[in-house]
Amino acid sequence: MRLCDRALRLLVATLALTLVSMSPAGAAQDAPLGSARAIERDVLEHLAGGRQSKAEEVLEHALRDHADDQGLVFLNACCTRSRFDVAQARPLFQKVVALDAASLQGQCAAEMLQLDSGIAVAAHFDALSALVDAHPEDVLLRWMIAVQCRALDRNEEGVAHYRRLLRTWQPGPSLVHQTYGNLLSELGQHEAALVERKLTVEQEPCGWSLKSLGNTLRQLERYEEASDAYARAVELLPKDGKCWANYAWSLMKAKRYEEALPKAERATQLGANAWLCWGYCLQSLGRKDEAIAKYREAVRLDPDDGFSRKKLEELEGGAPAASATADDGYLAYAGNDVTKLLGTHTDAEGQESHDFDLAFAERVLAELSAHARNYPPEFRSDDECALAKRDAGRLADLLHIVTKEADATDELLFLSARVNAVAHNLDIEGAGERAGTYFTRFLARNPSHPQGNYQYGVFLASTATGQPMAGNYLERAAVLGVDDAYYSLAMLSLVQGDQEKAAKQLETYLSKKPGDEQAAKLLEVLRLKDGKLKVKVER
């Protein structure tokens, strides 16, 4: 049955008003214009109508005059948490509890805080479930438990909650469709996920929604459409290396090799590993020597990259895939001339100017990270370690000079954060504090940067004081598409003594990277009836 436009609009309006009557926030239908309850009703109507950004805008203005209204603060907390901004949502939920801990909103906020802190997760999830079961028509409670299902890898439960939400909320907020799509993708239901991706882009056409659309189209092997989505996404996310890498990959799969080359190059400049894709496109275009160079870099950065190693052997007639390695593939750190980072140029009038070679800095960092990405670092001689400490210290100091000012570029901030994280692993004094400062500054500007959240989460997880916050950033990175974040979350759960959670996170990780034998062996140990692992960080 088809409805005329006028009838359809009336139906949507009726559903929106019905939703408000179901919500505890919408009880006062005759509230005076401008009152907190009238504003709350307006916000809920915007959410029901698929206008989440508008709802958030209304809330932002309303809270200036109604800062202590629990209903509005709770709505704001829910919208913020739906975007998986755990750090920003936390003080909002804390305020909800402080305003009235006994209210329904206060009880829900208290459980959200406990769950986001990773404290007695199973017990607090059950408590939140009980609240939802006791108030099945409260859309905000159901939204929050659905969000937690996503964070806790309870995918099938999450799908059930989102389906029920969308029977009430139609069309519903953009982040409902986005996260519902994520859960469907996790369960391999990519066609169903595509429906949600398209709705999300229609409601909130931005970088992250277009990137997610591209990801789902790529999973469906619809590479031409995926390329179109990524083309739009990188215009809005020009510094997202993973997005550029996916764009290049989709073009490669569509056999548009020439077009893929600059995208793969840009991805590598931003720190993403697109060397294999770059090499394959060059090989397909008959540019053998250039392809060999890219495959070599792919193997150097990831010695377990069997595909690139095989391609190298094919192109080189059985020559070794990487030079300067031991028989077991170990690549010794040979040092770098860090002074080459600063270039000097003289113009026609004799005036000198200086620039910073970001590409060279990234290469130095990649070589250092091969040994000191984690703590403790891995070297086979004291001389190697001394060279690495020298170069990491010099690089960190040079970057500090150019990034300590408030107008430092995002590229420099992110690079400096990562360099100092590696320097911290090398026990260079003051590097840990610098790393935290630069990650914080970078993420304040780029809160949804996938690698920014991942790298900061990994750094925090390596320190005893940072572990309580690490999970928030790793979870956000996972939601933003960083598959390795699930492995890091599993390691963090082991550190915190939650083997059950670690096993679930490893299962999710292996569903995305089934070839990781080390992770598979670890999962097997965790599944043993009496298996006990002890993991701790002493720094």
Same domain, 345 and 492: yes
Structure-token pair, residue 45: 């109507």
- CA dist 454 and 315 (Å) reads 35
pLDDT tens for each residue of 465-474? 788 899 999 9
Question: Which domain, by its residues, includes 462?
Answer: 338-526
Residue 270 lies in a domain: no
Q: Which of 156, 130, 151 is nearest to 142 (CA)?
A: 130
- Confirm whether 27 is domain-assigned: yes
How far apart (Å, rounded) are the C-alpha atoms in residues 63 and 9? 30
Orientation of helix 86-99 relative to helix 104-116, angle to 10°: 140
As a whole-number percent, the residues of the chain with pLDDT over 70 amount to 86
Q: For position 349, what pLDDT does the model report?
A: 63
Is the model's pTM score more than 0.75?
no
Distance between terminal CA atoms of the chain? 65
Longest dimension (CA), the chain: 80
pLDDT at position 326 over 60: no
Would you say residue 222 lies in a domain? no
Task: Quickly state the pLDDT bin for 403 (edges 50, 70, 90).
Answer: confident
- pLDDT tens for each residue of 35-87: 999 999 999 999 999 999 999 999 999 999 999 999 999 999 999 999 989 99
More reliable by pLDDT, 241 or 515:
241
Residue-level pLDDT at 20? 39
CA atoms of 451 and 332, how far apart (whole Å) = 26
Per mean pLDDT, which of 96-105, 181-190, 352-361, 479-488 is the most reliable? 96-105
Amino acid at residue number 89: A
Question: Which of 185, 204, 223 marks a domain boundary?
Answer: 204
Q: What's residue 407's pLDDT?
A: 83
Last residue of a domain, one of 160, 176, 204: 204
The 10s digit of each residue's pLDDT in 412-431 is: 999 999 999 999 999 898 89
Query: For residue 340, with 0-12 CB atoms within 10 Å meaning exposed, 13-18 middle and 19 or more buried, which class applies?
Result: exposed
**If you average pLDDT over residues 26-42, what whole number do you get?**
70
Alpha-carbon gap, residue 93 to 209, rounded angstroms:
26
The more confident residue out of 258 and 5 is 258
Between 91 and 481, the more confident residue is 91
- The pLDDT assigned to 353 comes to 56
Contact yes or no for 455/440 (Cβ under 8 A): no
Taking the C-alpha atoms of residue 504 and residue 153, their distance in angstroms, rounded to an integer, is 7
CB 503 within 8 A of CB 526: yes
Q: What is the DSSP letter of 409?
A: -
Q: Quick check: is 377 in a domain?
A: yes
Cα separation, 527 vs 517, in Å, equals 15
Q: How far apart are CA 280 and CA 296, in angstroms?
A: 12
Residue 331's DSSP bridge partners are 325
Supply the pLDDT for residue 324.
39
Q: Is 298's pLDDT higher than 60? A: yes
Q: To the nearest whole number, what is the mean pLDDT of the chain?
A: 85
Q: Which of 171, 177, 116 is nearest to 476 (CA)?
A: 116
3-state SS assignment for residue 345: strand
- Classify residue 308: in a domain, yes or no: no
My answer on whether omega of the bond before 376 falls inside 30° of 0, hence cis, is: yes
Q: Is residue 223 part of a domain?
A: no
The confidence score (pLDDT) of residue 131 equals 97
CA dihedral of residues 509, 511, 514, 518 (deg, nearest 10): 30
Element (H, E) at 127: helix 121-134
Instruction: Give the residue, 449 or 25, on which the prediction is more confident.
Output: 449
Q: Do residue 200 and residue 349 come from a single domain?
A: no
Percent of the chain with pLDDT over 90: 58
Give the residue with greater pLDDT, 71 vs 333.
71
pLDDT in tens, 179-223: 999 999 988 899 999 999 999 999 999 999 999 999 999 999 999
Q: Indicate if the pLDDT at residue 489 is higher than 50.
A: yes
How many angstroms separate the CA atoms of 493 and 475, rounded? 12
Residue 354: is its pLDDT beyond 70? Answer: no
Which contacts of 253-261 are long-range, i.e. CB under 8 A and separated by 24 or more positions?
Answer: 253/218, 253/221, 253/223, 254/223, 254/224, 254/227, 255/284, 256/227, 257/281, 257/282, 257/284, 257/285, 258/285
Q: Confirm whether 268 is domain-assigned.
A: no
Q: Which residue has the tokens 């937690």?
A: 148
Report yes or no on 153 lying in a domain.
Answer: yes
pLDDT confidence tier of residue 330, bands split at 50, 70 and 90: low
Tell me which of 101-105, 109-113, 143-147, 353-357 is least confident: 353-357
What is the model's pLDDT at position 329? 52
Count up the domains in the chain and report the number: 2
pLDDT of residue 422: 93
CATH number for the domain that contains residue 190: 1.25.40.10
User: Between 345 and 115, whose confidence is greater?
Assistant: 115
**Measured distance CA(79)–CA(226) in Å, rounded:** 28
Q: Is a pLDDT exceeding 60 seen at residue 117?
A: yes
356 DSSP β-pair partners: 342
**End residue of a domain, out of 204, 231, 263:** 204
Buried b or exposed e, range 186-203, using 16+ CB within 10 angstroms: beebbebbbebbbbbbeb
